[in-house]
Amino acid sequence: MDIKNQIDKNNVPQHVAIIMDGNGRWAEKRGLPRIFGHKNGVGAVRAATEAAGEIGVKFLTLYAFSTENWKRPKIEIDTLMNLLIETIDNEIGNLNKNDVRLITIGNTSALPKNVQTKLKYAIDKTSQGKTLTTILALNYGARAEITEATRKILTEYRNGKLDEMSLSPEVFGGYLQTAGIPDPELLIRTSGEIRLSNFLLWQLAYAELYFTPVLWPDFSKDDFFNAIVEYQHRERRFGMTSEQL
Ligand code: FPP
């Protein structure tokens, strides 16, 4: 039976988050500059988006650029930014066809102006998408996000709009950039690295973590479906015993 048919339609995660890793190594293995890895990673972004939509995932968050990625060589950063613009131009038709809404998390106001303009265009153009919301994490870092949420809470407190006893994890979550979006039930990281790298630290509290050695440019729809099947075999206990479930 092919892998897609092994998926239980009644137990598909609502939200899948992906750390797309291994582009550089993919290129280096072929004796190519790292940027070729990023260019070839775009196909995997398309595959993951389509696969998610096909099985009824409602939210897909992709870690495209972290707050730490500014430390990379300028040529690589410039290539990634241009790739983002190019990809939006090339994929906007497909996103609309597949009824996908695009949004972002992260401090996008620090991205180059032409990237901001293109993102705004894509967000507007896809705002009616209902099948899947793809969330691009750009200039995103979880610690910065949590710090910013705390800052907003302190301001509300100082203005008398929030008192300390009404602060709960649910209320706190409402100050994060993912407010209104359910937490990911599944995190996928490619390339064999086994860490979270400052990604959605609050939201991943109960997520199932799935690590695969596949390098991001090689990540296929079947790889995505495999991760879903593995997720469906996990027992999610949320602190309870097996018997209580
Ligand atoms: C990690 O691989 C990947 C990134 C930092 C960028 C992700 C970008 C893409 C997949 C392409 C464009 C994306 C969109 C949304 C259009 P790495 O460079 O850290 O790989 P390495 O660990 O092998 O060096």
Residue 241 inside a domain? The answer is no
The CATH number linked to 85 is 3.40.1180.10
Q: Which residues are catalytic?
A: 21, 69
42, two tokens: 């775009």
77 ligand 1 Cβ < 6 A: no
Other C-beta atoms closer than 10 Å to the C-beta of 95 total 21
Query: pLDDT tens digit string along 3-18?
Result: 999 999 999 999 999 9
Residue 239 inside a domain? The answer is no
- What is the residue type of 67? T
Residue 243 inside a domain? The answer is no
Query: pLDDT tens digit string along 20-51?
Result: 999 999 999 999 999 999 999 999 999 999 99
Q: CA quadruple 156, 161, 164, 170: dihedral positive or negative?
A: negative
Residue 79 inside a domain? The answer is yes
What's the pLDDT at 42?
A: 97
Q: For residue 45, give the DSSP letter.
A: H
Q: How far apart are CA 5 and CA 230, in angstroms?
A: 13
Query: pLDDT tens digit string along 167-187?
Result: 999 999 999 999 999 999 999
What spacing in Å lies between the alpha carbon of 78 and ligand 1's midpoint? Answer: 13
Contact between residue 210 and residue 189 where contact means Cβ atoms under 8 Å apart: yes
What spacing in Å lies between the alpha carbon of 98 and ligand 1's midpoint? Answer: 24
Residue 21 inside a domain? The answer is yes
HSE on the CB side for 193, CA within 13 Å?
15
Residue 19 inside a domain? The answer is yes
Residue 1 inside a domain? The answer is no
Q: How many domains are there within the chain? A: 1
Domain extent, residue 119, equals 12-141+184-233
Residue 149 inside a domain? The answer is no
